[in-house]
Structures are given as C-alpha cells and as structure tokens.
Amino acid sequence: MPKPIQSIERAAAILRLLSGRTRRLSLVELTGELGLPKGTVYGMLRTLVQVGFVEQDPETGKYRIGATLLHLGSSYLDGNELRTRALNWSDWLAARSRESVRIGTMHEGRVLIVHHVFRPDDSPQALEVGALLPAHASAMGKVLLATNPYVVAELSKAQLPSITGATITDPYQLSAELEEVRERGWAAEVEELIIGEASCAAPIRDRRGVSVGAIAVTGPVERVCENGQPRAELVTYVREGARTISRDLGAIPW
C-alpha cells in the first residue's frame, strides 16, 4: 500500500477539529490542538478557504466548516429541519407503537436527540431533545454507526464504556453486531443503556440514500420485547416510519 499523503491527512485533521465544534476556532487554537507549526496550518487553511471547505469570519479571523463541505458531507442535515420534516410520521409511529419515539443524529461520536414524541398515555414525561446518548449502547447509535466505520474505529480506540451489564464493550462484538444491522436494516438494544428498557431503530435516509439520522421506539422491555428481541410488529412500524420519512426527504423508496 502506498504511503498516506501527509498534507491530506493534516487537512482532514483540521476539518475534523472544525466540524467537532459549535464555535469558530482561531489559528492559534488550531495550531495548539494539532501540534503543528503555525505557518503549515495557515497555509492549509488558506487552501481550504479557497476551495470553500472552510470559512473565515471576516471580523474575528476565526475559522469554521464551510457551507460547501456541509452540502458535500454525507450526514449533514440540520437537526431542526429533520425534526420539522419528520413531525407527522414520528407522531404516527408513537400512535401506532404506543411507545415513545426519538430521532437522533451523530454528534461527536454520540447520538444527539433532535426529536422526542411522548408515549401516548398522558403520563408525566420530560422532553429529552438535546440529550446525548452513547452510540454503542443505543439502538439509534448502532444504526448510525453501521454506516460510519470512521466513528466506530475512533470509539473502539478508547474503551467502550459499560453502562449496564448488557452493554457491548468488546469492539469485535460491536463490529459483528453492526454488520448484522447493516444487513437487516434495523438495530435493537435490550437493557444495554437502561436496565428494564429496550429499543429498536431504523435509519432515515436522504435523497442520496445516506443515513442522516435514526428513528427509534423505546419502552419497557416487557412491552417492547418477546424472547429477548423487539417484537416483530414494532420493528415493522419503526421501519415503515423510517421509510416514510426517508421518502419525504426524497429518498427513493426501497
């Protein structure tokens, strides 16, 4: 295998740093984080700005990910937009399944909840929008990881934290399960995040067929599961909901 090209690796590192932050970063901050000479980083940034992958604020001189890259990037869809466009069919899923529904997107290796529909039984529940879930321990996370080997590799470098006794902590076991998720098109999580709860999730795809988020039904294990797996009926509802939302986003029905 030929040697990796250093400048591309470095450019990728800059983009990764910028995409992981909600605020803009200055040249000094970037240099510090990357441990590279200022001149090198500055040169790379100038080129990245030229091609539109990075934007520089004219007033503060700070950098952020450019719009061009966002539209090029595979998983970018504004979470607020995703919620708006998924509103009707996530309600539909909650009404059908009689359990709570969440929609999540990948955010710095974790699952960001961008939408939450209460379980339709009028019991007291609190909105969880904005909360972050560990990707390896949630059904939505598994769906999103299944098409994102880079994040899986990053997560596996560190230790996969154990949250309950059932959480998958072995990277090989996780890879094997993600392979299965990829093949069958949905993911399950049984008491791996919260004892007594289970969840199943399916991918929401955009018009390019790329997963932009995941939708999940979550509830008590005794209602959601049968023989240790989510009930077939729930899986059907989740997949149907995901398909309908995907169709509304322009994905070709499959």
Which residues are near another protein by CB under 8 A?
78-81, 83-85, 87-88, 91-92, 94-96, 116-118, 120-122, 125-127, 129
Taking the least distance from each CB to another protein, the nearer of 3 and 23 is 23
Nearer to another protein, 63 or 146 (CB): 63
Shortest gap between Cβ of 206 and another protein (angstroms)? 14
By C-beta, is 65 or 168 nearer to another protein? Answer: 65
User: What one-character DSSP code corresponds to residue 4?
Assistant: P
How far is CA 19 from its chain centroid?
A: 14
Contact 65, 53 (CB under 8 A): yes
Q: Looking at beta carbons only, is 170 or 248 nearer to another protein?
A: 248
Burial class (CB in 10 A: 0-12, 13-18, 19+), 221: middle
CA distance 93 to 120: 10
**What are 229's strand-pairing partners?**
226
Sequence letter at residue 201: A
Specify the residue, 95 or 153, whose C-beta has the smaller distance to another protein. 95
Q: What is the Cα–Cα distance from 241 to 153, expressed in whole angstroms?
A: 30
What's the min distance (Å) between Cβ of 115 and another protein?
8
Query: Which of 172, 73, 160, 63 is CA-nearest to residue 110?
Result: 160
| Entry field: residues in the chain | 254
Quote the least distance from Cβ 187 to another protein, whole Å: 24
Instruction: Give 9 or 59: the residue with its C-beta nearer to another protein.
Output: 59
**Nearest distance, CB of residue 105 and another protein, angstroms:** 13
CB of 135 to another protein, least distance (A): 22
The CB-of-24 to another protein minimum distance in angstroms stands at: 11
Burial class (CB in 10 A: 0-12, 13-18, 19+), 63: buried
**Which one-letter DSSP state was computed for residue 136?**
G
